[in-house]
């Protein structure tokens, strides 16, 4: 067999059905990687530093000899790990296919028996070394020309494309995330930006550690790619450009702002009830800290009053203050859109009822398409 060098587009197609080995160091992989890629580092972070320093100070040949010292003792383990990855990836693809509610993107011609894709940072010596070993053993090996750097260039270009987006809008407490989940259950194309960012968007939205900005962008580009070539609208939630500590890529966010917005209009008291029953279950200390994070925008009096209500377990009065603040902020952001009168589609809903409101949303969107 011969190692095949492939372009990023070929790589992405093959990666839908075949395992990807990221042979960069653990630190590089942890910072950001191609979604679903397996980490199989040729060098540890410390070994990479040693080889890299030798390359700069003593030249390529000395660096290669040092690298072989590290590589040689790992060869058997790397082959065995690759065998396990192929078996594991077959199960992953089968599970994805059986549970996938998105439009089908599968194509069996891209599944190649006993094949594996390999990449490093620039498509240089690290991927060449691992590819040589796996090819020698008998795998069908493909390497990415330009490596992870080529993938990152592709990611950034994705955000410059004009996708057919449908934006779900509505004031805080309208149950927009639940609507997206219901749309997905109905086989609609959906991208959940907050899920990708691991944050619910507001000061109260922390869900744990967020990915790096680079990993967030990789995940978003990967989701968009799932719908490439499919004639469908992609539903997503109206967001400010910042989600927690992350930013929606500027070009993509600008595109979002030019697309139709389907505004779920629910009365204030119903949204307040929904918010109170949802966030009232959270840890009180976390809620206080969340209020403190927005105190400059909320104002000293409102901050003090909201925290006071919270300490007294008067969650409804506390969230009433916060909901007024978020409504005001959202209205300002909404009105900053150009040509809002042609983009805005208001959908009157009496309650936060996911099933009913999703049906209304789909009905209105279908009529207006």
Asked about 364 being catalytic, the answer comes back as no
Three-class SS state of 267 = coil
Question: What are the beta bridge partners of residue 261?
Answer: 167, 344
Three-class SS state of 154 = helix
Instruction: Give CA–CA dist 279/294, Å, rounded.
Output: 16
Three-class SS state of 176 = helix
Contact 145, 123 (CB under 8 A): yes
Q: Which two tokens stand for residue 341?
A: 């009168």
Three-class SS state of 123 = coil
239 contacts: CB under 8 Å, gap ≥ 6: 193, 194, 201, 248, 253, 256
CA 323 to chain centre: 27
Q: Which two tokens stand for residue 307?
A: 């925290």
Q: What φ, ψ does residue 85 adopt, rounded to 5°?
A: -65, -40
Considering 120, 318, 349, 364, which one is annotated as catalytic?
120
Q: What is the DSSP letter of 112?
A: -
Q: What is the DSSP letter of 43?
A: S
Q: In b/e form, how buried is each residue of 141-151, taking b as 16+ CB within 10 angstroms?
A: bbbbebbbebb
Q: Which residues are catalytic?
A: 120
């Amino acid at each position: 067999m011969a190692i095949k060098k492939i372009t990023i587009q070929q790589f992405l197609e093959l990666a839908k059905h075949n395992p990807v080995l990221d042979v960069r160091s653990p630190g590089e992989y942890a910072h950001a990687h191609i979604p679903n890629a397996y980490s199989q580092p040729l060098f540890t972070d410390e070994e990479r530093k040693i080889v890299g320093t030798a390359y700069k100070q003593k030249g390529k040949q000395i660096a290669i000899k040092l690298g072989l010292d590290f590589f040689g003792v790992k060869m058997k383990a790397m082959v065995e790990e690759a065998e396990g990855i192929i078996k594991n990836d077959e199960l992953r693809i089968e599970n994805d296919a059986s549970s996938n509610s998105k439009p089908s993107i599968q194509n069996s011609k891209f599944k190649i028996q006993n094949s594996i894709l390999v990449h490093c940072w620039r498509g240089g010596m690290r991927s060449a070394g691992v590819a040589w070993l796996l090819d020698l053993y008998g795998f069908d090996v493909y390497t990415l020309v330009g490596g992870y750097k080529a993938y990152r260039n592709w990611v950034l270009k994705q955000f410059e494309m004009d996708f057919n987006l449908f934006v779900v809008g509505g004031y805080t407490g309208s149950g927009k995330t639940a609507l997206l989940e219901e749309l997905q259950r109905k086989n609609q194309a959906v991208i959940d930006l907050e899920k990708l960012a691991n944050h619910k968007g507001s000061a109260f939205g922390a869900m744990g550690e967020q990915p790096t900005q680079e990993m967030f962008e990789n995940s978003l580009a990967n989701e968009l790619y799932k719908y490439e070539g499919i004639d469908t609208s992609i539903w997503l939630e109206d967001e400010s450009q910042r989600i927690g500590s992350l930013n929606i890529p500027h070009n993509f966010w600008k595109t979002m702002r030019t697309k139709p917005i389907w505004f779920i209009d629910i009365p204030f008291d119903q949204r307040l009830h929904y918010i109170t029953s949802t966030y009232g279950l959270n840890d009180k200390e976390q809620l206080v800290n969340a209020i403190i994070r927005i105190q400059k925008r909320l104002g000293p009096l409102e901050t003090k009053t909201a925290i006071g209500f919270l300490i007294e377990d008067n969650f409804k009065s506390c969230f009433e203050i916060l909901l007024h603040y978020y409504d005001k902020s959202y209205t300002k952001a909404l009105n900053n859109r150009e040509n809002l009168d042609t983009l805005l589609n208001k959908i009157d809903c009496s309650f936060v009822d996911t099933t009913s409101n999703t049906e209304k949303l789909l009905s209105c969107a279908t009529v207006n398409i």
